[in-house]
Amino acid sequence: MENFSRRDFIKTGTMATIGLGLLPGSARAAAESSETIRVGVIGTGNRGKSHVANLLTISGVEVVAVCDLFDSQASAAANMCVQAGRKKPAIYVKDALTYKQMLAKEKLDAVIIATYWDSHAPIAIEAMNNGTYPGIEVPAALTVENTWKLVETSEKTGIPCMMLENWSFRQDNLAALNMKRLNMFGDIVHCHCAHSHDCIDHWFFDSKTGDQKWPAEYLLKYNRDQYPTHAVGPIISWMDINRGDIFTEIYSSATASKGINAYFKREFGENHPNGKIKWKQGDIVTSLLKTKSGKTLVINYDMQLPRPYSNRWLLEGTKGVYDEEKASISLVTSPKYHEWEPWKPYEEKYNHKWWNADYSAQSHGGTDYVMLSQFIDAVKKKGPTPLDVYDSAVMTAIVELSGISIEKNAPVPFPDFTKGKWETNKPYFGMDLSL
C-alpha cells in the first residue's frame, strides 16, 4: 500500500544493509536482547519500508509478518529483513482485508500501520481487539466518529494506541519541552504551528505526467486541514493539552484554491485535464483553537503553493518566546532580553535524554528511530505509549473539525476525548528525569 506521506523517505536498499555494529549503543541486533518483540507491518510502500528499516536497528525486535495489497511491495520489505540477516517475515497479500488474517494468526505484540489514510482507524481497532499495540501512521483517523472509536476501543481492551507523530520526537522540540517544564517560558499563552510543504509534484500528482496520486482524491472532496499532526504534535505537550488543559473550540477559514491550477498551467500548459478541475481544497487553511485556561493556538495548512518547507513553531509565554523558524529565542532572564539569541546553544544545554547519541544518519535525522524505539520500549514493558490514544485523538480530530468549521463559517466545539480526565491527568510525554 503505497504511502507518499514523506518526501525524504528513507533509501530502503541502503538502510537494509547497514552494519548493525555501526549503530549507537542502544540500537543493536535483536539477537542481543533476551526478550523479542514480535512486530508486523501493514502497508509496505515507501513509508512502511522506512519503518521496517528502523525496526531492524532496534534491539529486541523481530519483524515477523508484512502485509500489503501488492506482492512486490510486501516482498521488498521481507527481503530487507533477509538482507539484514534476519528471518524472512511471513507475507500476506490478497485484498484490503488480508490484514485481519495476519493479526489473527501471528499473535503480534505490535503492528505498524502505514496504509492509505482512510484505513488507519479500522486496522488499529482490529489490532487492539486482537491484543496488539497499534503504531498508526498519521493521521490516525479522518473522522471524529472513527477517532472516538479508537479511544473507546483502547479503553475497552486496555491496549494502548499511538499515532506515530514523529515531529513530537524531534531533538529541538523536546529541548523546548524540557525548557517549558523548567518554567523558563513562564505561563504559556500562545502557540503557532504550520505544515508548510509544497507537495503538489510528489504527494498529490506525478511530476512527469501530472497524473493524480491517491492523496489527490482528498483535494477534490474536502476543504479542510488535511494534515495537521506534524504541526500540532509538539504543541500539545507545550500547552499541556489533555493534562491540565484542553481545546474547547476550533474556528477555521480557507483561502481560494489557486495553487493547483497555477501549477498545471505552469508545468503542463493550458490543456492538462487536472488543470481544468475546480479543486475544493483551499490553498491555505488557518485554524484558531482556544483552550479552557485561555491559551490560543494558530495552525496553518499550506501544501499547495510554491515555498520551502517550514513548520513555523512558536511558543510564547510570560517569560519569553521560542521561534523555531528563526532558530531564535528571547527570555526575560537573559542579559540580552529584548534581543533574539541563537537557539542552538539552548538546544544543546537542555537536550532531552532520548537524544543521547548521534542518530542523524537515520531517517528524518534520527527522529523516526527515537519515536519507534520509545514505542517498542512501551510494548516491552506492557505499559503506556509515549503518545497515548487521547493525544492521537486530539491531533487527528482537527482534520474533520476544520472542514466542518470552514463549511459553517463558524467556530465548532472541540470534543473532550478524555471525558474530564484532563483535569487530573499529569504531564506525561517525554518526562525527562535527568533535568
- What percentage of the chain exceeds 90 in pLDDT? 89
What is the C-alpha to C-alpha distance for residues 386 and 13, in angstroms, rounded to an integer? Answer: 29
Arithmetic mean of pLDDT, 316-342: 96
CA distance 46 to 52: 10
Residue 130 has pLDDT above 90, yes or no: yes
Confidence label for 6 from pLDDT (cuts 50, 70 and 90): very low
Q: Are the beta carbons of 129 and 152 closer than 8 angstroms?
A: no
> Is residue 29 pLDDT above 50, yes or no?
no
pLDDT at 434: 76
Looking up cell 492509505 gives 116
Contact of 320 with 329, CB cutoff 8 Å:
yes
Residue 196 CA, distance from chain mean position: 15
The three grid cell numbers given for residue 403, joined into one nine-digit string:
472542514
Of the chain, the percentage scoring pLDDT greater than 70 comes to 92
pLDDT in tens, 174-220: 999 999 999 999 999 999 999 999 999 999 999 999 999 999 999 99
Structure pTM?
A: 0.92
328 pLDDT higher than 70: yes
* Closest by CA position to 240, among listed 399, 428, 419: 428
| Overall fold of domain 12-165 | Rossmann fold (3.40.50)
What's the pLDDT at 362?
84
217-to-116, 252, 261, 275, 396 alpha-carbon distances in Å: 12, 21, 15, 15, 19
The answer to whether residue 389 scores a pLDDT higher than 90 is yes
pLDDT (0 to 100) of residue 239: 98
**Superfamily of segment(s) 168-358+389-423:** Dihydrodipicolinate Reductase; domain 2 (3.30.360.10)
Give yes or no on whether 12-165 and 168-358+389-423 have one common fold.
no
| pLDDT for residue 17 is more than 50 | no
The pLDDT assigned to 58 comes to: 95
Answer yes or no: is pLDDT of 134 > 80. yes
How far, in Å, CA of 133 to CA of 120, rounded?
13
Q: What pLDDT, on a 0 to 100 scale, did the predictor assign at position 12?
A: 36
Place of cell 499532526: 229
- 24 Cβ neighbours under 8 A, 6+ residues apart: 357, 358, 359
Phi, psi of 7, rounded to the nearest 5 degrees: -75, -40
Taking the C-alpha atoms of residue 363 and residue 198, their distance in angstroms, rounded to an integer, is 20
pLDDT at 35: 83
Report pLDDT digits (tens) over 160-171. Answer: 999 999 999 999
**C-alpha dist (Å) from residue 378 to 65, 177, 304, 383, 387:** 20, 20, 37, 5, 10
Cα–Cα distance, 133 to 110 (Å, whole number): 4
Asked if pLDDT for residue 308 goes beyond 50, the answer is yes
- Is-contact 157 149, C-beta < 8 A? no
Q: Other C-beta atoms within 10 Å of 111: how many?
A: 27
Q: What is the pLDDT of residues 52-111, one digit of tens each?
A: 999 999 999 999 999 999 999 999 999 999 999 999 999 999 999 999 999 999 999 999
pLDDT at 49: 98
- CA angle at 190 for the pair 187 and 192, rounded to the nearest 5°: 140
Question: Residues 357-381: pLDDT tens digits?
Answer: 989 888 899 999 999 999 999 999 9
Q: Determine the straight-line distance between the first and last CA of the chain, rounded to whole angstroms.
A: 42
Rounded Cα distance between 91 and 74, Å, is 6
Domain boundaries, the chain: 12-165, 168-358+389-423
Residue with cell 463558524: 410
Question: To the nearest whole number, what is the mean pLDDT of the chain?
Answer: 92
Is the pLDDT assigned to residue 433 strictly greater than 90? Answer: no
